[in-house]
Structure 1
Amino acid sequence: MKGLAALPLEIRQYLLVTGNYWAFTLTDGALRMLVVLHFYTLGYSPLEIAALFLFYEIFGVVTNLVGGYLGARVGLNRTMNIGLALQVVALLILTVPAAWLTVPLVMGAQALSGIAKDLNKMSAKSSIKLLVPNTRQGTLYKWVAILTGSKNALKGVGFFLGGVLLATLGFRGAMLLMAAVLAVVWMCSLVFLKKDLGKASATPRFRDVLSKSRAINVLSAARMFLFGARDVWFVIALPVYLSAVFGWDFWLVGGFMASWVIGYGIVQSVAPSITRTSNGRVPDGRAALIWALLLAGLPAGIALGLAAGYPPQLVLVGGLLLFGVLFAVNSSLHSYLIVSYAKEDGVSLDVGFYYMSNAMGRLIGTLLSGWVYQAYGLEACLWVSSLFIAIAAVFSLALPRHGETVGP
């Protein structure tokens, strides 16, 4: 504890923000896997399972806009703590008796969880901008990569945790345990998180939530299609396919999905080393374009391999591992660029706008994942994924290069 107290305030706050984000992410990943697997065993179709997450994604879109505004007005500590508290409430709602777990109730709980998740993420990502000087862009990239990568690695652990808790404690027991642990984290955050973190020097107007930066608008559009490309086959179609076609049980599906996301998070954490240029410069818009192009053809390649009759487990598992590496680098680059482009004063306004697009991409991807898989199968989901990544690459053409200003 003495060593921790001796650290600079910025480092202690970074560790606290990261710890909050980690704890929240564990429950978020576990909750998603619990809902997908539990309701699939109850006989729900892939499209019906996707509908359970509809409000989660819709409210994520709204929350990032409103949350960015609130963060600039009242401080990022409050928006982060509100997010933690709402997740506890969402988990407790799902502890009702099984007969009460109707679709509207689950969708309502998912709506609260979506609000909570995006308040928490927006607060964590915005905080990093305020804890690193603008002159240290390399350090900013590393800190963002560590935060983003560790979060996704823990989300993978959450997927596995969800499968384990469902098999051992059951749905209700899992919700009670996660709510209790997260409540303790929330109380610690209330006490220790800095009170004025991220509060704008001038009271922002609500219309300021719409970004006026061309670079942020372009990056946000690219992000929407990038994450739509992932979720169109990863969120609903893949776990259902693994269970229904390969015959994998809960432990194997949860373990595989968890391993993939953990590996994805590790690659995100080391992305600064992967994307490092010979002259040591941090990445720019050209790097985002190159990495998007490298990813664009991969889902289509997996679809062609499945259609050609190659061993499906080898094609799908091998292709998914390569997709994870390339997608992780793309995601880490985007996460750095938005924090770099954002204005320091009222940073949450720009970050919130950007993650609104991220949430919109997840919403589109989740809905398409259920509908396209149910109507046309996994191969069609993969073709849609490649199309979306190609569109993200087209938007990346307009991102600033080194020497160009972000501009209005």
Structure 2
Amino acid sequence: MEFLARLSPGVRQYLLVTGNYWAFTLTDGALRMLVVLHFHGLGYSPLQIALLFLFYELFGVVTNLVGGWLGAHLGLNRIMNIGLALQVVALSMLLVPSALLTVPWVMAAQALSGIAKDLNKMSAKSAIKLLVPAEAPGRLYHWVALLTGSKNALKGAGFFLGGVLLMVLGFTGAVALMAVALAVVWLLSLLLLQQDLGKALNKPKFREMFSKSRAINTLSAARLCLFGARDVWFVVALPVFLSQSLGWDHWQTGGFLALWVMGYGLVQGLAPRITQRVGGGLPDGSAAVFWAWVLALLPALIALALYLGLAPAQSLIIGLMLFGVVFAINSSMHSYLVVSYADRDGVSLDVGFYYMANAMGRLLGTLLSGWVFQVAGLEACLVISSGLIVLAALISRQLPRVVA
């Protein structure tokens, strides 16, 4: 406590925001793995399990858009606390007796969890803009990268946590423990998080939810394509392929994906060092274009290797690792650019609109992943992924070449 008292108010608030985000992300990753493993044990197919998360992604589209407007009116601290409270409610919904734990009920709980996740993420990313001095863009890039990278590393850790808790405590015990732990975090956040953080001086009208910034709109379109390109093969196609075609068991598949997400998060945290060494200075529109073109090559090469039958397991694993590194750099740069482009007064509006596009990309990728894989296989998913990244690169050509 003495150490925290010696820190500046801005750093203390950054640590609180980051701590809230970490706690939420850990339970979010664990909950996803708990649901996957529990329903897999009940005999559900991978495609049926993926559909349980459909509302999770769908509600994220609306939540980011409306959440940005609410953040400008109510303050980011309240939005973050609402997100934490909703996650506690979502977890509590899964504590009903097994006979009541039906697919519609779980989908409803996942929908609420999706709303909570996007409220929490939008408020955390927006708050960083306000806690870093305007004249320190380099520090902003590092703080955004640290927040984003640590979130994904903890999401991967959450996958492991969910599996361990399921083995030790069972489904109900694991969910109950997470609900209690997150409730404690929520109470501490209510007491310690700065009041009125991010509340706009000029209250935006509801129709102003849609960004009027050309840079934000362009970056949002590129983000939609980027995350659609990831999820079109990562969400459903890849786990099913690893299980059915390569003969991996459930723990191998889940463990590999968890490690991938953790490594992806680590690279996101290191992205400022990587991009500054390669391009020098802070990233701008030209850097977004360059790294998108590099990324577009990877799924195309993986698809070619699978088509030619060149050691499918090795080609996929090596390709996925390279894809994760370059995708993490792209994602981290995008996260910095949107915070940099956003207006400080009502920052949540711009960030909320951008993450609405992010959620639309995830939703598009999730739907395409199940349908395309079922119709045409993993190679087709990879080709579509490459095409979406090419589209992101072309859209990014319209981004400003110098970050303001």
Name 2:319's counterpart in structure 1.
319
Contact 1:95 1:172 in 2 (8 A): yes
Residue equivalent to 1:163: 163
CA shift, 1:40, in A, is: 3.1
TM-score, L = length of structure 2: 0.96
Structure 2 letter corresponding to 1:115: I
Q: TM-score, normalised by structure 1?
A: 0.96
Structure 1 residue aligned with 2:229: 229
Q: Structure 1 stretch 350-359 or stretch 372-381: which is displaced more?
A: 372-381
Q: Which runs of 5+ in 1 are unaligned?
A: none
Alignment of 1:18-33 (within 5 A): 18-33=18-33
Alpha-carbon offset, residue 44 of structure 1: 2.6
**1:142 alignment counterpart:** 142
What is the letter of the counterpart of residue 205 of structure 1?
K
User: 2-side partners of 1:367 and 1:271: how far apart?
Assistant: 29
**Whole-Å Cα distance in 1 between the matches of residues 245 and 97 of structure 2?**
31
Q: 1:370, CA displacement in angstroms? A: 1.7
Return the offset for 1:278. 7.7
Aligned-residue offset at 1:122: 0.2
Superposed, which structure 2 residues align to 1:185-264 within 5 Å? Answer: 185-264=185-264
Tell me if the contact between 1:160 and 1:251 (Cα under 8 Å) persists in the aligned partners: no
Query: What is the Cα deviation at residue 239 of structure 1?
Result: 2.2
Cα distance in 2 for residues equivalent to 1:327 and 1:315: 17
Segment drifting more, 246-255 vs 88-97: 246-255
**Aligned partners of 1:270, 1:354: CA distance in 2, in Å?**
23
Deviation >4 Å, runs of 4+: 277-280
Q: What residue number does 1:306 align with?
A: 306
**Structure 2 equivalent of residue 60 of structure 1:** 60
Moved more, 227-236 or 162-171: 162-171
**Alpha-carbon distance in structure 2 between the residues aligned to 1:175 and 1:249:** 24
Which segment is superposed worse, 173-182 or 188-197?
A: 173-182
Identical amino acids, percent of aligned pairs:
71
Asked if the contact 2:29/2:158 (under 8 Å) is kept, the reply is: yes
**CA distance 1:138–1:396, shift in 2 (3 Å):** same
CA distance in 2, matches of 1:32, 1:335: 24
Task: Check the 8 A contact 1:47/1:371 in 2, yes or no.
Answer: no
Give the AA of the match of 1:2.
Answer: E
Q: Distance in 2 between matches of 1:37 and 1:248?
A: 15
> Does the C-alpha gap of structure 1 residues 40 and 380 become closer, same or farther in structure 2, counting only changes over 3 Å?
farther
State the alpha-carbon separation in 2 of the partners of residues 225 and 108 from structure 1: 27
Corresponding pairs, count: 404
Distance 2:393 2:38 in 1: 37
User: Does residue 376 of the first structure (1) align with residue 376 of the second (2)?
Assistant: yes
Task: Output the amino acid matched with 2:136.
Answer: R
Superposed CA deviations along residues 84-103 of structure 1, whole A, max 9, x for unmatched, are: 01011111111222222222
> Unaligned 5+ residue runs, structure 2?
none
CA RMSD across the alignment? 1.5
For 1:277-292, list aligned pairs within 5 A: 280-292=280-292
Aligned residues of 1:46 and 1:370 also touching (Cα < 8 A): no
Where do 1:19-98 residues align within 5 Å? 19-98=19-98
2:341 maps to 1:341: yes
Q: Deviations over 1:261-293 (max 9, x none)?
A: 111111100111111158852110000000000
1:394 deviates by 1.0
Partners of 2:169 and 2:233 lie apart in 1 by: 29
**Closer/same/farther in 2, CA of residues 252 and 217 from structure 1, 3 Å limit:** same
Q: CA deviation at 1:241?
A: 2.5
1:304-344 CA distance string (max 9 Å, x none): 21221122221111111000000000000000000000000
